[in-house]
Amino acid sequence: MTCKGICLLKGTVINGTVTLSWYKTTPLFERNEQDEFSEFSVYRKCADDFTFGSDYEEFFCGMLPESSDLIYCGPVECSNNRKYLFHDKQVEIGKVYVYFVKSRTMPAVGPVPLKIRDPEIWWSYETLKSRLLQLQQDYPAIVNLQTCGRTVEGREIFSLKVGAGTTVLGLAGAMHPGEAGPELIISALEQVLHESPAMLEKCAIAVIPSVNLDPRERLVQGNPWYLRKNSAGVDLNRNFPVNWENVDQSYGLSTDDPDSGTYRGAFPASEPEVKAVMRFFADSKPAVIFSFHALAGICDIPAIGAGSVDQSDSEFYERSKRFVNAYGTGLHPELKPDDNWLAFSGTGGSLLRWAWQELRIPAFDLELSMTIAPEALLKCRIDHTDCDLLKEYSIRHSRAIINILSCLN
């Protein structure tokens, strides 16, 4: 059997710098081996053919260092006689890189794939916290920042109450970490507060800008492929305690399969993130909720709702249609409302069905659709959303939010 000199090779991206870390293997550490670790070779390959949303972890399985470039050979500083850190600043935003590391004579370890994401498009947890604190500081009279719970890993789940009114619009972002979230929602709210503060005298907005914070931070720090579940391996949008027992097999996946990307959890509302969302919206009593989905940065209509899938409840259907048409015309003032803007889903365990059954209010997932220009749609699908596109859609969503507030006034 071939021995390896190093183990636990990992990588993170922070502020555009890749940091690789690794350890001496236990046998070599225990015999205080030094010569083998007098120098290391670090290899890097650019994976231009990786596609977010289509390719996943298996894309990198079996990769070998032979086709990679040697970017460093020499000593690396050691801490505690065992751990090593190497920093690579010669990387480009938007690129996916694959790393391998080897000690002096033993085989290379890897691959470690990392994507260098734009911090303006994917906010870190600290950036999110900073932007929320700044929003509260800028509008202290009408922005109330709180914590509504904690994630599996203990991160605070931030919530906002924006406005003085008692009629409330609910917003939720990043229920699935690889989808639209705080970068879009907070930017849109800033536009609303700057341009239409009077709209918030009679109404308010209750917001959880980022629900699934733990794996979202992994995406920010370089995980290249789309992530859907929380740190406990549960799809939060299948974990709500309404129709949870109904097994759904969409996407060729099954919600009762722990290995599935749509796994519903061991029992209803098992996840702390779901409990936090339920408490927050039960307390804030919104008249309608919009949950931001799609891929990597932006979302649009159609709006997927829950409730009377067969439209037998005409009052609920008309109320849903009115809200969706208002949101859609805010997104696309050049378009007339279309019957295709609203669809209904019967998926159990979703925020939508919980809001309908427990709060008796319409709730909608905002997805991707052909109302998005083809070039923008492509950028979003493959994680190439840029600052111009994000700005455009923050303006679109600010108009949509203002339209909903007008409906609620």
310 contacts: CB under 8 Å, gap ≥ 6: none
- Residue closest to 167 by CA, chosen among 405, 351, 360: 405
| Beta-bridge partner residues of 12 | 19
User: What domains are there in the chain, each with its CATH number?
Assistant: 6-115 (2.60.40.10), 125-408 (3.40.630.10)
**At 197, is the secondary structure helix, strand, or coil?**
helix
List, in sequence order, every residue forming a beta bridge with 7; answer none if it has no partner: 23
State the pLDDT at residue 306: 83
**Which 8-state DSSP code applies to residue 237?**
G
- Name residues of the chain where pLDDT drops below 50: 1
Handedness of CA 31, 36, 39, 45 (dihedral sign): negative
Phi–psi pair at 178, nearest 5 degrees: -85, 15
Q: Write the CA distances from 72 to 42, 84, 101, integer angstroms.
A: 5, 14, 10
Residue with tokens 């009679």: 202
d(CA 142, CA 197) in angstroms, rounded, equals 9
- CA nearest neighbour of 369 among 317, 404, 327, 407: 327
Contact 170, 206 (CB under 8 A): yes
Predicted local confidence at residue 310, as pLDDT: 53
**What would you measure as the largest C-alpha separation in the chain, in angstroms?**
77
pLDDT at 378: 86
Q: What is the DSSP letter of 92?
A: -
> Do 70 and 100 contact (CB within 8 A), yes or no?
no
Residue 307 pLDDT = 66
User: What is the torsional sign of CA 379, 385, 386, 391?
Assistant: positive
Q: Per DSSP, what are the bridge partners of residue 84?
A: 22, 78
Burial class (CB in 10 A: 0-12, 13-18, 19+), 346: middle
Query: How far apart are the C-alpha atoms of 81 and 95, rounded to whole Å?
Result: 33
Q: Which amino acid type is present at position 305?
A: G
* Contact in structure between 23 and 82 (CB atoms under 8 Å): yes
